[in-house]
Structures are given as structure tokens and as C-alpha cells.
Amino acid sequence: MSRLVFAGSAPFAVPALQALTTAGHQVELVVTQPDRPANRLQMTAPAVKLAAQELRLQVFQPDRLRAQEAVSRLAALKPDLLVVAAYGQIVPASVLSIPTCCPLNVHASLLPRWRGAAPIAYAIREGDRETGVTIMAMDAELDHGPVLTRQETAIRPREDAVELTSRLARLGAELLVDTIARLSEIQPAVQDHARATYAGKLSRSDGELDWSLAAEALDRHVRAYRPWPGVTLPFAGDRVKVLSGRPLTGRGQPGAVLRSEREGVEVACGEGSYLLKEVQLSGRKPMPARLLVVKRA
């Protein structure tokens, strides 16, 4: 079994960490992002930190992984492997060179498609029918290194980013353990860099949409941008956050309310229509969309 350092932060990385310990690997150190302020009175710990504490593993939270003290601490451990999954920082060459074997990355796409920070959101938003997980040997460039193993899976018709992230996290954890067990026999495959596509970090403005989009495209955005940044749309002079809905085939002037009933509020889009089911106004709790029309009546 391997002695390793694990670097991860987001919930996607938790199953991988748990699977490594279950498989008997010796996790010498868990590197994760610093705690962040949730509000003025409370700090929030990364999901990986909480998981590591439950597993009674040592946690290290440097502000910058490239800082000399961080590099020195990792180098002193002399790990066989460095495993990275949804860590949230670029891993510098000074850290990649530390493990005696190779640095491994668990990436939530079928590389070279969707390199970058938000591969799951981009796959749903762009209407991909298939995605998966890639285990790659890291180099100094973003998601650029040779592929060791990969596992494909279909994206389900109504699947959102939360559901797909959970599925891919479990798939990636299984694939990671299997890959490490077979490292000596795996022949790395160089990526076709000419076919690379990029999934940049999402910002709040990405979710600010309008009704001129086709209903199918709008639906993909809603599912892709859960939970962050979420989709907001103009409604009766305000903006409403869309928590759930589905595309329909109604017609009308984009933004016009076609009907309102118990199931939700149907609004015309650039092509087709969209049924708002659950929404949230700024500073309010989530509510059924039909209440929007009542409040505006």
C-alpha cells in the first residue's frame, strides 16, 4: 500500500479520500483550502477537512500551496503519491515533483474535453450526452498531463449538477483506487491537445439570464448552475432565482406569462416556454412559483 498526500477541498473529493483509507493506503497528510467566512460571525470548513477529521487524519490548510513552508512540509513527508481532487488551487511544479511515483489528479470529465474548474456545469450546459472521470498524471499545465484511466457515464435527461457531481465523485473514487492498484501496468496516453475544450471558473454573472434563450437551453443552464451561481431571470420588474422547472412547447413574447396554476408558472422563451416550479426572490425563502403571480396581482 502507498504512503500518500491527499489534496482536495470540495465535496467531490470526499469519496476519493474515504476510498483511499478504506483500501488501506496510508494518508500522511490532507491538504485543503483554508476555512472561509460564511457570514460575519461564522467560518465554514471545506468538506474535505470535515471528512479528514472524521477519519482522524492530519490536516494542513496553507493559504498558498506554492509558499516555501508548504512545499517544505510536503517534501519532508517523502510520499509515494500525491493525489489531487477538486483542490481549488493550481498545484505548482515544486509540489508536483515531490512524490516518488507520480502526482495523480481525479478530474470530472473525459479529458481533453472540459479542462478547468467547472467541467460538470459545462457538460450539462452544453448538452453533452456523456461525461465521466479521468485519472491523469499531472504536469505543470492545466489538466494537460497523460491519461492513465477513464470511466464514461451517460448524463441522465433531467440530471442537475448536484446529482451528477455526486455520481461522478463515487465513480472517481472507485476508479482512483483501481488505478493506483494497477499503476505499474498502466501505459499513460498523451491527450490530443488539439481537441481540448475549457470549462472556466463560474461567476455570479454567468447565472444572469433572460427569456430570449430557447427553453431547452434555459433548462440546461438551470440544471448546470446548481448550486452555484444559480440562474436568475427578470420577472415583473424584479429578478427571480430559479430553483426548479422544466421546458415546455408554449409560444409567446419572451418573458410573457402564458399560464399560472398549481404546478407552476409557464413563461414564454425565445423558443418554446419554461415552467417555473420553485423560485426564490432576493432576501426571501424558496417558494412555489405560483405565489409570484399572487404577490404581483
Lowest mean per-residue pLDDT among 16-20, 146-150, 213-217, 237-241: 237-241
Please report the pLDDT score of residue 40 as a whole number.
67
Q: Answer whether residue 166 shows pLDDT above 90.
A: yes
194-250, pLDDT tens digit by residue? Answer: 999 999 999 999 999 999 999 999 999 999 999 999 999 999 888 999 999 999 999
Confidence class for position 296, pLDDT limits 50, 70, 90: low
**What residue ranges define each of the domains in the chain, with the CATH number in brackets?**
3-199 (3.40.50.170), 204-296 (3.10.25.10)
Lowest mean per-residue pLDDT among 15-19, 28-32, 207-211, 283-287: 283-287
Give the Cα-Cα-Cα angle 227, 230, 233 (nearest 5 degrees).
Answer: 160
Residue list for the binding site: 109-112
Average pLDDT rounded to a whole number, residues 141-154: 97
Average pLDDT rounded to a whole number, residues 69-95: 97
pLDDT exceeding 70 applies to what percent of the chain? 98
Average pLDDT rounded to a whole number, residues 61-77: 97
What is the residue whose three cell numbers read 499531472?
Answer: 138
Q: Where are the alpha helices (DSSP H) in the chain?
A: 14-22, 47-54, 68-77, 93-96, 119-125, 161-181, 215-224, 290-296
Residue list for the binding site for (6S)-5,6,7,8-tetrahydrofolate: 109-112
Grouping H, G, I as helix, E, B as strand and the rest as coil, residue 55 is coil
Q: Which grid coordinates belong to 193?
A: 491537445
153-165, pLDDT tens digit by residue? Answer: 999 999 999 999 9
Average pLDDT, the chain: 96
Average pLDDT rounded to a whole number, residues 178-197: 97
267-276, pLDDT tens digit by residue? Answer: 999 999 999 9
